[in-house]
A and B are shown apart, each in its own frame.
Chain A
Amino acid sequence: MDDDVLISKSFKLLGSEGRTALIPYVTAGYPNRDATVPLLERLKDVGADIIELGIPFSDPLADGPTIQRSSFTALENGTTVASILADLRTFRDGNDLPIVLFSYLNPILAYGLEAFLSDAVTAGADGILLTDLPTGADPELEAKISESPLALIRLIAPTTPFERVPRVTHGGSGFVYYISRTGVTGARVKLRESLAEELGQIRSVVSLPVAVGFGISTPEQAASVAGVADGVVIGSALIEALDKGGIDGGADFLHSIRIGMDRG
């Protein structure tokens, strides 16, 4: 329960420095199986504070075209939960950057929930975010995750009724992920103008740090979100940068986001 210690420490340290957490998302096994460990290392080097490592799923219904494509490619590459945990173990050797596994429920159920929780902890994961397990959907399963050393990262959407917001974080720890707009993942030209106000409302009832994701794709957007949130999640835009420029291109892009955020 208290082993989301790396995540909390990361937010505390950043908070004391007046900085915002940069949280990149990458699909494990993309663009190829050998890329994951070096990619994680490069993302750390250019200023990632926490990394979301995506477990690919055949039916990613919360994801837009970019992450769908990366998921299908990763699966074709033979990526499995076991291969991802092996990569994570390799990365962990000498790195203490917090890693949150990002997944749909079914690959975890197929692996076996208890075995997964235990193996993920052993491999060095710090948290788990499940896109299709909203709070209250399966209390027994949620309790097992909450009781494990992994932080259960909860999500809040703009459509979450306000009275539900305090309940959504039940059993959650580490941070809360605020989906900055309705829709699937993917780079957007414009973000919601009401973001600051929405975050204010969430903070009035939620004590965990709040990271914002969905649609953030430029240093300017990241800087503006960083002004109001505790963390900025970058997913699809990073995958697109990887497509264009490989690991170097991805790292350069994330670095530009880091600079944008720190400049404010």
Chain B
Amino acid sequence: MSTEIPAPMNQFGPYGGRYVPETLIGALDELSSAYDDAASDQSFSSEVDSLLRDFSGRPTALYHAERLGEAAGHPSVYLKREDLNHTGAHKINNTIGQALLAIRMGKRRIIAETGAGQHGVATATACALFDLECIVYMGEEDVERQALNVYRMKLLGAEVRAVGSGTRTLKDATNEAIRDWVTSVETTHYIIGSVVGPDPFPRMVRDFQAVIGRETREQILKITGRLPSAVFACVGGGSNAIGIFDSFLSDKEVRLIGVEAAGTGIETGQHAASLAVGKPGVLHGSFSYLLQDEDGQVSPAHSVSAGLDYPGVGPQHSYLKDIGRAEYTAVTDQDALDAFHRLAELEGIIPALESAHAIAYVLKVAAKYRNDGPVVVCLSGRGDKDVSHVAQIEGNEPLV
């Protein structure tokens, strides 16, 4: 009998791994090898590239936001316009890639979790495009606050399953998606929406999102002739942030700054700032910073933005934090709501509440970088989905 122990799957220093039920190990091995095979196959990457170009509208613009810059005290603030993607957010970069991979593996049933609904819509879109069965798990609370996206998913032919257990948000939608996958793994691919979950998801989703950073690097060099002094992105699970950070990791002079959700304030305990105040632990298959109590029970997260309302974070972010290559901070619900309005009024762009966190932080700190060169903010999604919710928060009647 062999006593050989397989090599550990940790990919990012001590973070990452495959802390999942034994039932999923075969599928994760299959997925890893299918992905490694696809990643080295020219025809796979050209198919992804051409769909991102012709179907999603890439490359997305890098836009010089002059009035935002003026308000922030910095003459050259650039927005990476991921909101201009088809479906309105960066999520489609990943779902097109993973849907093609599912087809390669002969799996025609797709499941996904969603918080704000952006990943659910992007998954439903890819499934409509490739004629795949699509089931999206979404917390009941999110179903209520993101009604528009629920209807969009249904229009695209997906089944939306509301999850009523636990905190009724993204964390529990993810639990339920994993439970489905444990049951259906032989026929089903799980399209995780962020750089979280067991290996190979964090590195695979990063690779699919890295197109954001590749384009940004090329565009900023072309427009300004230099690298940015800082790159800002919001962090929930952290996929848009990893996507834009990836191409700048070895440019040590570029500061990489992730902005988490401070909810009603870190001191209130109602927040989603896993990196700022969490402790490393295991949730959803990987070891990473996690909001938890002293008994190791996962604490409920809170954010006005459903997409950031998650107690964990991608393991690569934990690693980048520990080695000091990226910095993480957090802004409150109120700061994000203010930034939501400011960007609409200053630039004619309504940002997703998630992205509004990054905008809010740039408004606070950009002036400090004014003599250091351009700064880039990843505008990960557009805010149409949030309009009704924000109107309600501000005391208006629901719009839909």
B22/A155 in contact, CB under 8 A: yes
Contact B185–A182 (Cβ < 8 Å)? yes
* Distance between Cα atoms of A108 and B281 in the complex (Å): 10
Contacts of B178 in A (CB 8 A): 61
Q: Please report the C-alpha to C-alpha distance between residue A70 and residue B156 in the assembled complex, in whole angstroms.
A: 37
Instruction: List A contacts of B175 (CB < 8 A).
Output: 59-61
Given A68-B165, A184-B183, also A110-B281 (CB < 8 A): yes
A43 within 8 A of B: no
Q: Which of B20, B27, B165, B184 contacts A132 (CB 8 A)?
A: B20
- By the criterion CB–CB under 8 Å, are B22 and A106 in contact? no
On chain B, which size bracket covers the interface? 35 or more
Chain B CB within 8 A of A46 CB: no
Please determine whether A72 and B186 come into contact, CB atoms closer than 8 angstroms.
Answer: no
Q: Do B26 and A59 touch (CB < 8 A)?
A: no
- B324 at the binding interface (Cβ < 8 Å): no
Measured between beta carbons, the chain A residues less than 8 angstroms from B2 are 166-167, 170
Contacts of B282 in A (CB 8 A): 104-106, 109, 132
Nearest A residue to B293 via CB reads: A110
Decide: B296 and A109 in contact? CB cutoff 8 A: yes
- Name the B residues within 8 Å of A207 (CB-CB): 1
Rounded to whole angstroms, the CA-CA distance of A137 and B199 in the bound complex is 10
**Chain B CB within 8 A of A94 CB:** no
Q: Do residues A159 and B23 form an inter-chain contact, with CB atoms below 8 A?
A: yes
Bitwise, A144-186 to B at CB < 8 A (1) or not (0) is 0000000000011111110010111111000000010011100
Does B258 interact with chain A (Cβ within 8 Å)? Answer: no
- Contact call A110/B294, Cβ cutoff below 8 A: yes
Query: Is A246 at the interface (CB under 8 A from chain B)?
Result: no
A80 CB within 8 Å of chain B: yes
Asked whether, in the complex, the Cβ of A164 is within 8 Å of the Cβ of B297, the reply is: no
A131 contacts the other chain (CB 8 A)? yes
Q: Looking at the complex, which one of B18, B22, B172, B186 makes contact with A168 (CB distance below 8 Å)?
A: B22
A229 smallest CB distance to B (angstroms) = 17
Binding site for B on A (CB under 8 A): 57-62, 64-65, 68, 72, 75, 80-81, 104-111, 131-140, 142, 155-161, 164, 166-171, 179, 182-184, 205-207
Can you report 25 residue pairs joining A to B where beta carbons are below 8 Å apart? A58-B298, A59-B172, A59-B175, A60-B175, A62-B21, A62-B182, A106-B290, A106-B297, A134-B19, A134-B21, A135-B6, A137-B9, A138-B10, A139-B5, A155-B21, A157-B21, A160-B23, A160-B25, A170-B2, A170-B3, A179-B22, A179-B23, A182-B182, A184-B179, A206-B1
